[in-house]
Amino acid sequence: MIKFYFHKTPNPMKVALYLEETGIPYELIPVDTLMGEQHTPEYKGINPNAKTPAIEDNGVRIFDSTAILLYLAEKSGKLGGAPENRAEMLSWVMFIATGLAPFSGQAVHFRHMAPEKIPYAINRYLREAQRHYDVLNTHLRNREYIVGNTYSIADISAWGWIDKASVVLGEEGLQPYPALKRWFNKVNNRPAVARTRAVEQGIAFKSAYDEVAHRALFPQNYPVVETQPA
């Protein structure tokens, strides 16, 4: 059975949605990133990048949400798209992985998490996030799904971050992007999404973004104190 290392953030939620859509059995293993559990030697042996998600499949480790989605789709033959759309699939999945996701994350960080408001950084990442939303909105104007004519890992991957549109972009959320909003509502109303949102029930994840959480999430912002030998 797949071991799924999970926190309730956009990238792990993509993997949770894929697993719920396909019915692949898995064991959920919570990793409380606000408590720093991603930095333990045991977890870094699974994901040396010290982030969630990660999976273990019969002793094989896979980390990074995009790698996991591609791996599971290829292994199971489910939701990977038609063979003739392989190039298009890779293009959009990587667009999400290298563009939409990181710029959205940085927009959230500098708007909501940074200890000081830096107008240049806020504008830079917000405008780039908006640009990526606009690219998807344009692409979806006459389409039901991101790749081909069927629901796939491209839609699952995008859903993880588009679900946070109001946090990334502000209160207007998807209002300026009608085609993207239509697509999101279609995906978001799938029964597997409701099951995915319920995955975290019963898990007492830390919720306060206090100094403990900031040190766990952004350790590079804190100096390393070297102890002298006695």
Per-residue pLDDT of the chain (230 residues; tens, 9 = 90+): 999 999 999 999 999 999 999 999 999 999 999 999 999 999 999 999 999 999 999 999 999 999 999 999 999 999 999 999 999 999 999 999 999 999 999 999 999 999 899 999 999 999 999 999 999 999 999 999 999 999 999 999 999 999 999 999 999 999 999 999 999 999 999 999 999 999 999 999 999 989 999 899 998 888 765 555 55
Q: Could you tell me the fold of the domain covering 83-189?
A: Glutathione S-transferase Yfyf (Class Pi); Chain A, domain 2 (1.20.1050)
Q: Residue 221: what pLDDT? A: 85
Find, among 30, 38, 40, 34, the residue nearest to 213 by Cα. Answer: 34
Looking at the DSSP bridge assignments, the partners of residue 37 are none
At a CB cut-off of 8 Å and minimum separation 6, what does 179 contact?
137, 138, 140, 141
Both tokens of residue 109?
């960080």
Sheet holding 26-30, edge to edge: 26-30, 2-6, 54-57, 60-63
CB atoms within 10 A of CB 25: 8
8 Å CB contact between 31 and 5: yes
Instruction: Give CA–CA dist 172/49, Å, rounded.
Output: 34
Q: Residue 223: what pLDDT? A: 74
Instruction: Give CA–CA dist 19/13, Å, rounded.
Output: 10
8 Å CB contact between 57 and 2: yes
Per DSSP, the three-state class of 6 is: strand
End-to-end CA distance of the chain: 48
Query: Residue 55: enclosing H or E segment and its boundaries?
Result: strand 54-57
Q: Residue 222: what pLDDT? A: 82
Per DSSP, the three-state class of 143 is: coil
The residue ranges of every structural domain in the chain are 2-78+193-221, 83-189
Instruction: Name the one residue in this structure whose structure tokens are 């279609």.
Output: 186
Domain 2-78+193-221 in this protein, CATH class:
alpha beta
8 Å CB contact between 212 and 14: no
**Alpha helices, DSSP H only, in the chain?**
10-22, 41-44, 65-76, 86-95, 101-108, 119-139, 153-162, 165-169, 178-188, 191-197, 211-217
Both tokens of residue 166?
């109001």
Instruction: Please tell me if the domain spanning 2-78+193-221 has the same topology as the one spanning 83-189.
Output: no
Both tokens of residue 127?
């405008």
